Structure 1
Amino acid sequence: MAKHGVNAAAAAALVCLAAFGAAPGAAASPGGPSSPPGPTAAPRFTPGPCPKTSEPIEALDTARCGFLEVPENRSRPGGRTIKLAVARIAATAREPAAEPVVFMAGGPGSDTFDDIPFLVASGLNKDRELIVMAQRGNLHDLPNLACPEVDRFNARSVGLGYDAQQAKRLMLKAVTDCRARLVAQGIDLNAYNTTENAADFADLRTALHIPRWNVYGYSYGTNLALTYLRLHPEGIRAVAIDSVAPSQFVTLPWTWGSTAEGIRNIFAACAAQPACKDRYPDLPGLLTEQVRKLEAHPLTLDVTPPDGGKPVSTVLDGGALLNLIVAFTPRPKDLPAALDELGRGNPERFAQARAAGSVQKTGEFAHGLTNSIACAEWAPGHSETDVLEAGRKVYPQWPDTVLAQAPQLPFQYPVCGIWNVADRAEIQRVPTVSAVPALVVSGTFDVKTGASWAKGVARNLSRSTSVLIPGIGHWVVPQSPCAQRVLASFFARPTAAPDTSCVDALAPGPFTIIPK
């Protein structure tokens, strides 16, 4: 998962739901490429060295690692197998609890191992073992569905209009080239879906001989956790989902409602603080004004990326502005100030955030997994017109050129026409009904997976507790010490009500106020 100069947990969430990149530093193959067709074998775990990550991860120094070998496509007996990277991180407690916690990352497609520092800092391995597995197709897996072609396009795209025809043409060329390369390797793109992902985790528990464990997932990982709970409930002691992407609701048009809800909550929090309200009296109007202005007259600037280097040509238009906000750049507490500066002719905060995209970690994000899931599970049953209408519903005064693209998933329908995977909407868009103890955590500032969607999920989980953390965006637990305490209390005694007393005193922090 790429991290771009915002606070730690918000940075970790930049590409979750992509909306909602074997790469340099990947682990060496424990036995060459994926196994050729033959008799179907039982899934097995083989110990091996921990992956070599692009940035050192201290927890991996003492972790027990290896690969889970599973069928690529379980509907094709005798087909080839794939290998998924696994790390077992010991509890820090001298007498840890018996049941570990297994983590399901966001994305889909982000580097799961890159999330380990946030999990450890949040105390996930304080009282019990933490198990991390890269979802099929991710970095450190064999095969890895990275698309360096798309990474190179993303780096170049900062100098193009977000929704420009040239950007569309270049992106579709990158997707076409990536798909052709993956298919030439014998990869079955239809096998990279949430149902197979869930079965991988069920096989992991069995292969590790773990009687029961706890599940924690965020963003797309909540979609996966709910699917796993529905299809493989055996052995699940408790499940915690953070920043919920409900499997029965997630579609491409759905993204607009989530984005609007999060932005609306940020602006409402500013309006509730006298200093912020006085300084920035009409943020909704200001945002609409700037989206319209930049879409009609995009700015082209030479901008030095935040981490330094040579200036890059950077285009800031209405679509880019909206998508920077969805990516938490700038952070919510700085958003009113950044919009005010933009309205007064100073686009520096947004321009620098856009320029940061010119520095890409090539080959670390599994765009192939993103496209296989988005095109099979989120796109079917709706059209580009539906995306546009969903955008018009929440932002009726915005230009259609901005509203035509699902936030953080530009040109996804043309991409899906190229990716060409089978429709799995009917299989995947199913609610999870369960009596397994559950914790549902949401943040009011989440502009990727709107907090209100958690209610529908919680209603179907008869033994669930819902927690709403004010002033926090996507992926709540790493950003909120209170949420960390609630999660620890829940895993300690999932059949009892978790201690949520710290939530009552929470309120959004102060916003950045700049002089007039």
Structure 2
Amino acid sequence: MFVERACPDDVEVLVVPAHRCGVVVPEPGEPEEIFVVVVEPPVPSDAAPVLETGVDLGMTPAYGGLAPIAQRTGRRVVIVDLPGTGHSQPSLDCPEVESLGDATASDDPARLTDAVAACRARLQREGVDVAGLIPARLGEALAAVMTALDEPRWVVMGHGTTAEAGRQLALTHPERVEALVVDSLVADPGIDLDPLVIAVSDLCRAEPGCRRRYGDPEQDWRRARRDLDRRPLSVDIPHGTVRIDGATLERGVRWLTGPVEGPAALPAFLEEAATRRPGPHLQLLAATLSVAPPLCVGYVPKCETDERLVIGATLSAQCPTAAQLPGWQGVCRAWGITTDQADPTHLTGVPVLALSGRLDPFAPPELIDSHLQRLAPDAHHVELAAGGHNVLGVECTRTVRNTWLAGDLDQPPSPEPCLQDPPTFD
């Protein structure tokens, strides 16, 4: 059942096209409410609407950034606050964890796991099933939205860690999914960063002036990690000092080359770290670390302090695949969700467009193809040479998506020359 409600301020300020808000109640009498924003295209259309699952689980959808999909595709767009996040209820907020701050959690892992366990215990007392918000179960919540809005066929679109929720929906309700678009699947949140740095170094060498301005990124990377492990760097910010060691530097690389600044910023960032001269990139990392909650910077693809991260939703999303990784083991045990070792079901029979960045710190090229073979072996895979994480923020990949949706979905999208453009280091 869909119940229309007044749009909250964060929607009204950001969403310009005609829109309305409401909640979906999956079952009569159920306490769960799934918040949605319905955005209309400039011209009414009978095309299948877009069900948009947001950018990374645990984050409130970027309503202002997602609303233009209606204009770009000519389709109605329904932006969903996945259960546990944003304006959906009940929330998986964990104030017990967020109050620690990143620095405390990094210095005292036991306090972090105790806080995670305390949050889980409180939510259980309130009747919230944290295991009910893993991606396999979120697919059914999306199906409830489709039913409540009474549209027979949909284009489902997901980004980062929310993409798996969309894939689960297509697995269980393929007859209702016209196409699935996934942007920047997270293949391994703990992948070795050396190949990424080497790839950026090769691109820097090929661009006149990059080595002259920033030196050799690969050498800077090895030098900075070694030096910062022996002698951490203290970075002064307006409200204090932040300590950067080798492990924090690695988290910083994932954070920076994700949606924050992108791979083109990496040579300058590593040059600052290797020379121990904090510039704008290290200053930004330090300022973010000073106010970010635990399990944010370098743990999830998108960590921006002006957007709330719901720690409980992040844990429910990440633990099925990350519970054995360093940094996740203790918190996932405390959250009560361990690694799912079962082989995933292949998605077939639904047209899939998978978009990725060649320089994504959470899904490198050597893994993304094999990952897709396990999840959606018939997917059309499009790679953006200069892309990091969340490549639909770039006009080139949006053009690929829009053209494909308007054409024959069984055929691969037309190659766009801009997909091969290298990053510009400036």
Alignment of 1:144-293 (within 5 A): 144-154=91-101, 157-158=102-103, 163-164=106-107, 166=108, 168-245=109-186, 254-257=188-191, 259-277=193-211, 279-280=213-214, 282-293=216-227
The equivalent residue for 1:451 is 365
How far apart are 1:240 and its partner, in Å? 1.0
The equivalent residue for 2:333 is 417
Secondary structure of the corresponding residue to residue 33 of structure 2: strand
How far apart are 1:123 and its partner, in Å? 5.7
Task: Decide whether the 8 Å contact of 1:432 with 1:457 is kept in 2.
Answer: no
**Separation in structure 2 between the aligned mates of residue 52 and residue 86 of structure 1, nearest angstrom:** 14
**Separation in structure 1 between the aligned mates of residue 125 and residue 376 of structure 2, nearest angstrom:** 43
Secondary structure of the corresponding residue to residue 432 of structure 1: coil
Task: Decide whether the 8 Å contact of 1:458 with 1:465 is kept in 2.
Answer: no
**Separation in structure 2 between the aligned mates of residue 369 and residue 134 of structure 1, nearest angstrom:** 11
Structure 1 residues 259 and 197: alpha-carbon distance in aligned structure 2, compared to 1, 3 A threshold: farther
The equivalent residue for 2:18 is 62
1:437 matches 2:386: no
**Separation in structure 2 between the aligned mates of residue 342 and residue 362 of structure 1, nearest angstrom:** 25
Structure 1 residues 448 and 379: alpha-carbon distance in aligned structure 2, compared to 1, 3 A threshold: closer
The equivalent residue for 1:473 is 388
The one-letter amino acid of 1:275's match is G
Task: Decide whether the 8 Å contact of 1:97 with 1:127 is kept in 2.
Answer: no
**Separation in structure 2 between the aligned mates of residue 326 and residue 363 of structure 1, nearest angstrom:** 18
The equivalent residue for 2:50 is 101
- Residues 157-176 of structure 1, C-alpha deviation per residue, up to 9 Å, x if partnerless? 34x6x843x3x133234323
The structure 1 residue matched to 2:287, chosen from 355, 370, 392, is: 355
The one-letter amino acid of 1:152's match is S
Alignment of 1:294-373 (within 5 A): 294-304=228-238, 311-328=239-256, 331-348=262-279, 349-360=281-292, 364-373=308-317
User: Which ranges in structure 1 are unaligned for 5 or more consecutive residues?
Assistant: 1-43, 72-77, 305-310, 388-404
**Separation in structure 2 between the aligned mates of residue 65 and residue 432 of structure 1, nearest angstrom:** 34
TM-score normalised per structure 2: 0.86
Task: Decide whether the 8 Å contact of 2:48 with 2:153 is kept in 1.
Answer: yes
**Separation in structure 1 between the aligned mates of residue 309 and residue 419 of structure 2, nearest angstrom:** 38
The structure 2 residue matched to 1:85, chosen from 22, 35, 49, is: 35
Secondary structure of the corresponding residue to residue 489 of structure 1: helix
Structure 1 residues 256 and 163: alpha-carbon distance in aligned structure 2, compared to 1, 3 A threshold: same
For these two proteins, the number of residue pairs brought into alignment is 409
Task: Decide whether the 8 Å contact of 1:213 with 1:235 is kept in 2.
Answer: yes
- Residues 237-269 of structure 1, C-alpha deviation per residue, up to 9 Å, x if partnerless? 111111123xxxx5xxx3333644433332232
The equivalent residue for 1:46 is 3
Q: Cα RMSD (Å) of the superposition? A: 2.8
Structure 1 residues 463 and 195: alpha-carbon distance in aligned structure 2, compared to 1, 3 A threshold: closer
**Separation in structure 2 between the aligned mates of residue 242 and residue 196 of structure 1, nearest angstrom:** 20
How far apart are 1:89 and its partner, in Å? 0.5
- Residues 339-360 of structure 1, C-alpha deviation per residue, up to 9 Å, x if partnerless? 2233223023314322223335
The one-letter amino acid of 2:133's match is Y
The equivalent residue for 1:133 is 80
Task: Decide whether the 8 Å contact of 1:280 with 1:336 is kept in 2.
Answer: yes
Between 1:178-187 and 1:285-294, the stretch displaced more is 178-187
How far apart are 1:499 and its partner, in Å? 4.7
**Separation in structure 1 between the aligned mates of residue 416 and residue 360 of structure 2, nearest angstrom:** 20
Structure 1 residues 89 and 482: alpha-carbon distance in aligned structure 2, compared to 1, 3 A threshold: same
**Identity within the alignment, %:** 23
Structure 1 residues 268 and 224: alpha-carbon distance in aligned structure 2, compared to 1, 3 A threshold: farther
How far apart are 1:506 and its partner, in Å? 3.2
- Residues 256-308 of structure 1, C-alpha deviation per residue, up to 9 Å, x if partnerless? 3364443333223213324324555532222121112112211223312xxxx
Task: Decide whether the 8 Å contact of 1:436 with 1:461 is kept in 2.
Answer: no
How far apart are 1:48 and its partner, in Å? 1.6
How far apart are 1:456 and its partner, in Å? 2.8
Relative contact order (C-alpha < 8 Å, sep 6+): which is higher?
1
**Separation in structure 2 between the aligned mates of residue 208 and residue 334 of structure 1, nearest angstrom:** 42
The one-letter amino acid of 1:444's match is R
**Separation in structure 2 between the aligned mates of residue 379 and residue 424 of structure 1, nearest angstrom:** 7
Structure 1 residues 282 and 368: alpha-carbon distance in aligned structure 2, compared to 1, 3 A threshold: same
**Separation in structure 2 between the aligned mates of residue 152 and residue 131 of structure 1, nearest angstrom:** 33
Structure 1 residues 504 and 189: alpha-carbon distance in aligned structure 2, compared to 1, 3 A threshold: closer
Structure 1 residues 343 and 463: alpha-carbon distance in aligned structure 2, compared to 1, 3 A threshold: closer
Task: Decide whether the 8 Å contact of 2:136 with 2:168 is kept in 1.
Answer: yes
Task: Decide whether the 8 Å contact of 2:352 with 2:380 is kept in 1.
Answer: yes
Structure 1 residues 454 and 352: alpha-carbon distance in aligned structure 2, compared to 1, 3 A threshold: closer
The equivalent residue for 2:300 is none
- Residues 443-502 of structure 1, C-alpha deviation per residue, up to 9 Å, x if partnerless? 112112223433235546465321111111100011x21111111011112435355342
